[in-house]
Amino acid sequence: MRRRPTTVTLTALVVVTAALATGCGSDDEPDPLRGQQWALDALKLPDAWKTSKGEDTVIAVVDTGVDLDHPDLKGRLVDGYDFVDGDDEPKDLNGHGTHVSGIAAAHTDNGIGVAGGAPGAKIMPVRVLGADGSGTDANITKGIVWAADQGADVINLSLGESGLMARLLKGGILNQAITHANGKGAVVVAAAGNDSTALQPYKLDTPVLVVNAADRNGQPASFTNFGAQNAVSAPGVDILSTLPTYPTKETLKNTSGYGKLSGTSMASPYVSAVAALLHHQGLDPAAIMSTIRGAAANPQQLAKLGLGNVDAAAAVKAAPATKS
């Protein structure tokens, strides 16, 4: 009997789409919705930007694609690919990938919408998940390998809950793809998942940085998975970012181009942004991961936070000492 392909689902929870401003602002409001982005301050990213903004760094978002014409993302994109439809137009028909992309590197100080975590970086949209937010191991594997071969410096995997990680644990093809990407010089950052489950989700030699989710008080999000060796945490609750300007599953009736989502899917691209800042400083993948981990803080030793909450300012300050 022929095996059905295994699928992966997304790690974002229900969208919170309060009526937000359309994103237009005056000259004295560089990013009109910046005041709602509590996560940037929690990560101390504004302080980190004084040292690095991630210039000359490409973050591949292996996800549902992107709104290619979004005003807060247009000009931030490099060529991507659509492994679902097999073409060069990775248009987001779900909404998740657009949200993740904005977190990582939306335009900043441009008078529109929100600020991205790595204002100098570029986004490579790689569509491996369909409109329903699911996809096959085969397409995800192809997407990871393709992104690495096309020169992505950071690869963000805000993918699927325990399904993805369970297969990594078994040493399947996704594990091999991540190892391939690391060998090509890319840092691979992956969401832990939203099952509120303790697990060691990948083989110990897999070069991947797993990210748990925290709330605005720095406490573990109620939904976050935890237990991955050397995992870190980042904001993942009520995260404001870009959404498609046309109707999709995540946007529902909100076509303002902005909205809030919660999940480890949102925490992961924030760490990818910090990785981009460190890449610009000249660190290799191993040094980037060790620097992020070394700068994480967990004073209460909470198991669900792993090594602790990421501190971007501390990471970029520590970077010269770990430069290869």
Per-residue pLDDT of the chain (324 residues; tens, 9 = 90+): 333 444 556 656 544 444 354 444 444 558 899 999 999 999 999 999 999 999 999 999 999 999 999 999 999 999 999 999 999 999 999 999 999 999 999 999 999 999 999 999 999 999 999 999 888 888 999 999 999 999 999 999 998 644 555 555 555 678 889 999 999 999 999 999 998 988 766 667 889 999 999 999 999 999 999 998 899 999 999 999 999 999 998 787 889 999 999 999 999 999 999 999 999 999 999 999 999 999 999 999 999 999 999 999 999 999 976 554
pLDDT digits (tens, 9 = 90+) for 265-296: 999 999 999 999 999 999 999 999 999 999 99
3-state secondary structure the chain: CCCCCCEECCCECCCECCCCCCCECCCCCCCCCHHHCHHHHHCCHHHHCCCCCCCCCEEEEEECCECCCCCCCCCCECCCEECCCCECCCECCCCHHHHHHHHHHCCCCCCECCCCCCCCCEEEEEECCCCCCCEEHHHHHHHHHHHHHCCCCEEEECCCHHHHHHHHHCCCHHHHHHHHHHHCCCEEEEECCCCCCECCCCCCCCCCEEEEEECCCCCECCCCCECCCCCEEEECCCEEEECCCCCCCCCCCCCCCEEEECEHHHHHHHHHHHHHHHHHCCCCHHHHHHHHHHHCECCCCCHHHCCCECCHHHHHHHHHHHCC
Q: What residues form DSSP beta bridges with 66?
A: 91
Is there a catalytic annotation at residue 96?
yes
Q: Is 324 a catalytic residue?
A: no
Q: Which candidate, 203, 160, 200, places its Cα nearest to that of 179?
A: 203
Report the pLDDT value the prediction gives residue 2, as an integer from 0 to 100: 37
Distance from C-alpha of 65 to C-alpha of 62, rounded to nearest angstrom: 8
**What's residue 171's pLDDT?**
57
Contacts 24+ apart (CB under 8 A), 294-302: 294/318, 294/322, 296/232, 296/233, 298/233, 302/219, 302/220
Contact between 18 and 260 under an 8 Å Cβ cutoff? The reply is yes
Single out the catalytic residue among 67, 72, 82, 96. Answer: 96
Residue 206 has a pLDDT of 85
> pLDDT at position 11, please?
58
Catalytic residue, from 262, 265, 268, 272: name it.
265
| Residue among 31, 63, 72, 137 flagged as catalytic | 63
pLDDT number for residue 24: 42
Neighbours of 263 (CB within 10 A): 29
Model confidence, pTM:
0.92
Rounded to 5°, the CA angle 240-41-322 comes to 115
* Span 187-216, pLDDT tens digits: 999 999 998 988 766 667 889 999 999 999
Give the torsion through C-alpha atoms of 17, 19, 22, 24, to 10 deg: -120
Known catalytic residue: 265?
Answer: yes
Bridge partners, 58 (sequence order): 122
Question: Rounded to an integer, what distance in angstroms lies between the CA atom of residue 128 and that of residue 103?
Answer: 19
